[in-house]
Structure 1
């Protein structure tokens, strides 16, 4: 009995000492060298405890009466052995329960007090020094603002090239086997008028549908490790003729040889007579009934290559792929050496709405799991707000200024987990909370401080909700599907917070950016340049 208690205590001590992650969150800020050293110590300690356990077992076996002629001694030995087995089983069960508790612990739980105090960030946005209004305007005009003429020329070139590509793509594709593409839609910062990075990159999406008589059914799902009801991705199911009760009856009934559907003609009848080898060439044949992102990317890149080969003689520039991991990351290169970048991505529409599923390959995500985008709704919302806000509003100026400062700070201190989309989402929330007259150009400094404060608060609370998902009050006049309005709010910082090192880097980067904001702004808009001419308010 005492030996069993000692063994269990040793096992519990080993769990606490050698596996500290069982009782507390992993400290993501440990350096790699310290982590390797800790793992080495844990291994050595495990070996020592194993040797100690063997020694204790040997001593216990020697202490048990073993004379074969003593019946009472044998019974006592068996009883002690049963007790020893019981304590061993209980210790193992305790260890397993502790491990289960560790794995089930929410990764978004509060960090230790020492970690919370490691970065001095609280009311920093209110105390941070920001230049006066005139200096901010000069900084915006000199460093951030993109010429309207340059923006228009870039969009005109990209859209013209994309339209020709898609028209040629339709002509080179097999209408019985390949996808059918629709017209492209412009999204992202260029089409929302807040792009700041050069060269300008236009983002286009192209909805596509399967060849008739097939159809798509997009299902929105929750992530396995997320909050129940928190939508995160979807799957696209290919519906064959006759599976969907809402489709024409000709796909679910046996028509006679002398009967044709007045709607589809010979299409449905012909599809039933396809050879098996033709069906094997369908894009979803290997992952049926779901559509694979990798298959779509390969098909789209191949179709774009054939389409460009057909129309390349019409242009005096070269077109090539920038990144084969993305479906249509293209580069236009002129003979002069100048280049223009744009992205064109095939997407699947969700239930006749402006929600689209995008084929983005991600590590650890199934090939049939498609993330979705609300970029079209967000573009429409910003366009609507531009009509309601004062004529010289500063909302986009704030977003561009924060994005510019963040990029410059990342170059000084390293990459941060924050993205432009986090900053854009913060602005969208602020536009709904702040009175519209408060966004006039003269309030630039105040609204810039508000945007920084919103991001600061979101990082402290470890939560930045998606602007549309779970926000029933957002965009009441827009045709957003009910499944997204009634869902749990989607925390855009969940992945960032679950990785302690990324989260702390994001906090420290934002804190340093706010401390250095005035210095960075003055560095990129020197005094002599400001004095040579008064800055004009943007139109």
Structure 2
């Protein structure tokens, strides 16, 4: 816009100057045309010349004045132009300075970025170096640990080898020193023959009973009676020490679970009581509304009226097999016993074996007779509820001595003890005699005042104390004598601790409740401390047992 204004101003000034010049030329031309006709006197002419000179000077001044105006405008234009040029230069300088500043800023930023990258590279290098140093140190530590472990393993191997060599030397020395007489060999052979158990039929019995229980479950699956699980064989027959002169009774525990709409709550007797004899199983009703939505013919015991339930649904477990909300042993056994004969006839083995129910109040005693040979098999079914995920069950077995209420479910360690024998059998030598020792001593203690459970506890303790390789044929008689001496010591000290209660050195194959592991060891001979007469009888019974033991060992009767 400033440039356009300057151009218009220059145009107007140039037109004005041209007009003044033309007017001056016309005046002079007119004067020249009139000059011939006018000849004034000399003095007039001189005077006129003087005046004319003054007029010319005035005209020249006027012309100069007019040209001054032009030069003024020209100067003004030049001034404006110079100002414009200066402003353009200043703008260019500003732009140049800005660009320079931007370039400087960019250069600074580039320098900073380069420095930052260099710093990061240095940091990464340092981190890598530190990591490498750490890895080297870790590798060195691992190498040192590995070397220490290898040295430790080598030392352990050396120690084991030395111990084995020492044991072998001791055994060799013992063998060299020990030269059994023919009489001793004869006694050992006769005792082993006597202690040899009968050929058990455990596998067959388990198969027969599980076929029975599967058929039972099929018929009673849609009811509110207890759900029967797979039977677990326990006792001497399944532990492998049943004697041929004794009537073998195959004892099995049948785990039961609560039916739908019910739950079992275990009440383990008095607080602090381990192996409680008065444990009870309380039955509680559970909501069945979710099941009712899936199965239209099932009604919830908690959210329906009794009249509606009695007309449209079978009674609950609380109404059938319970006494005061507690599961009743006798009612449960009676329910099973009444149905077992009819259920057995529906099994696949009904034609091969005849089943007879023997009277019992707290267990189901069955006699199976093979139709072809007439051989009889005695089976005792105990019902039990598992305590958590452990190997301890609350069973329907009788307690030793005294009356057992029908709602009492004593704790049983039979499954845990069987698992310990199985673990021992897996780790013992193929010709181990620990079961033969147990069988021989159990036969000797019949009607001698000591129960087979006491004898089994004695053997369990010595199995945990004596290495399994010591239970060999060569040491059979000496192991029998060790068992007898241990029993004598326990009677004298009036103390025989339960093998499972308070024993923290058991293998993890046997799962016990925390209360068992942390409990104070339970004394099975506590009554000897409390009753002097019982202690006197125990001493007398041991002397009889010792005599019976020696007769069986020498004369086999």
Compute the displacement of 1:468 (Å): 0.8
Deviation at 1:136, TM superposition (A): 3.8
Alignment deviations for residues 459-483 of structure 1 (CA, whole Å, 9 cap, x no partner) = 2222221111122233355331101
> Compared with structure 1, are the counterparts of its residues 267 and 374 closer, same or farther at alpha carbon in structure 2 (3 Å cutoff)?
farther
Give the 5 Å matches for 1:48-59.
none
Offset at residue 522 of structure 1 (A) = 2.6
Partner of 1:399: 438
CA deviations 1:488-513 (Å, max 9, x no partner) are 32222345765665554343222122
Q: Distance in 2 between matches of 1:276 and 1:473?
A: 54
Other-structure match for 2:87: none
CA deviation vs aligned residue, 1:420-449 (integer Å, no higher than 9, x gap): 111111111111112333222211122111
Between the two proteins, the alignment pairs up a number of residues equal to 366
* Higher radius of gyration, 1 or 2: 2
Residue pair 2:328, 2:406 contacting (<8 A) in 1 also: yes
Whether contact under 8 Å (1:321, 1:328) holds in the other structure is: yes
Provide the secondary structure at the position in 2 that maps to 1:463.
Answer: coil
- Structure 2 match to 1:241: 286
Q: In structure 2, how many angstroms separate the alpha carbons of the residues matched to 1:132 and 1:264?
A: 77
Matched-pair contact (CA < 8 Å) for 1:417–1:496: no
Structural mapping, 1:336-347, within 5 Å: 336-347=373-384
- Out of 496, 502, 514, which is 1:470 matched to? 502
Contact 1:358 1:373 in 2 (8 A): yes
**Does residue 454 of structure 1 match 2:486?**
yes
- What does residue 107 of structure 1 align with? none
Match of 2:65 in 1: none
After superposition, what is the alpha-carbon deviation per residue over 1:370-390, rounded to whole angstroms, capped at 9, x for unaligned?
A: 111112211111121223333
CA contact 2:191–2:556 (8 Å) conserved in 1: no
Query: Match for 1:193 among 227, 240, 243?
Result: 240
The answer as to 2:406 corresponding to 1:367 is yes
Q: Does 1:145 align with 2:177?
A: no
1:403 is displaced (CA, Å) by 1.0
Residue 428 (1) aligns with residue 470 (2): no
Cα contact 1:213–1:267 (8 A) shared by 2: no
Aligned to 2:323: 287
How do residues 150-299 of structure 1 correspond to structure 2 at under 5 angstroms? 150-151=199-200, 154-173=201-220, 175-196=222-243, 197-222=245-270, 229-233=273-277, 234-241=279-286, 260=290, 270-271=300-301, 272-273=303-304, 275-276=309-310, 278-279=314-315, 282=318, 286-299=322-335
Contact 1:425 1:466 in 2 (8 A): yes
Conservation of the 8 A alpha-carbon contact between 1:168 and 1:307: yes
Cα RMSD (Å) = 3.1
| 1:23-75, Cα deviation, whole Å (9 max, x unpaired) | xxxxxxxxxxxxxxxxxxxxxxxxxxxxxxxxxxxxxxxxxxxxxxxxxxxxx
Tell me, yes or no, if the aligned pair for 2:226 and 2:257 is still in contact at 8 Å.
yes
> Is the 1:329–1:343 contact (alpha carbons within 8 Å) kept by the matching residues of 2?
yes
Q: Partner of 1:470: helix, strand, or coil?
A: coil
Distance in 2, Cα, partners of 1:195 & 1:211: 36
SS in 2 for 1:206: strand
Q: Which runs of 5+ in 1 are unaligned?
A: 1-129, 243-250, 411-415, 526-539
Quickly say closer, same or farther: Cα 1:405–1:298, change in 2 above 3 A: same
Give the corresponding residue for 2:56: none
- 1:306-325 maps to which residues of 2 (within 5 A)? 306-311=342-347, 314-325=350-361
The answer as to whether partners of 1:230 and 1:489 remain within 8 angstroms in 2 is no
Note closer, same or farther for the CA distance 1:441–1:179 as it changes in structure 2 (3 Å cut): same
Structure 2 unpaired stretches of 5+: 1-180
User: Aligned pair in 2 of structure 1 residues 391, 325: CA closer, same or farther (>3 Å)?
Assistant: same
Higher RCO, 1 vs 2 (CA within 8 Å, ≥6 residues apart): 1
What per-residue deviation string (whole Å, max 9, x for no partner) do you get for residues 174-209 of structure 1? Answer: 632211111111111111111114443211111011
TM-score, structure 2 as length reference: 0.59
Residue deviations 1:302-359 (CA, integer Å, cap 9, x gap): 2323312434883243211233234221112245543111112221111122211111
Q: Residue 350 in 1 paired to residue 409 in 2?
A: no
* Structure 1 CA distance for aligned equivalents of residues 509 and 212 of structure 2: 35
> CA–CA distance in 1 between the matches of 2:185 and 2:414?
33
Greater helix fraction, Structure 1 or Structure 2? 2
Cα displacement (A) at 1:281: 6.0
Distance 1:426 1:382, change over 3 A: same
| C-alpha distance in 1 between matches for 2:426 and 2:317 | 49
Q: Please tell me whether residue 382 in structure 1 is matched to residue 421 in structure 2.
A: yes
Is this contact kept in 1: 2:341–2:355, CA < 8 A?
no
CA 1:174/1:490 → structure 2, altered by over 3 Å: closer, same or farther?
same
Structure 1 residues 472 and 192 mapped into 2: Cα distance closer, same or farther (>3 Å)?
A: same
After TM superposition, the structure 1 = structure 2 runs for residues 20-59 of structure 1, keeping only pairs within 5 Å, are: none
Distance change in 2, residues 1:320/1:439 (3 Å): same
Q: 1:265, CA displacement in angstroms? A: 6.4
CA contact 1:217–1:237 (8 Å) conserved in 2: yes
Distance in 2, Cα, partners of 1:215 & 1:289: 11
Cα separation, 1, equivalents of 2:218 and 2:478 = 54
Q: 1:502 to 1:302 in 2, by over 3 A?
A: farther
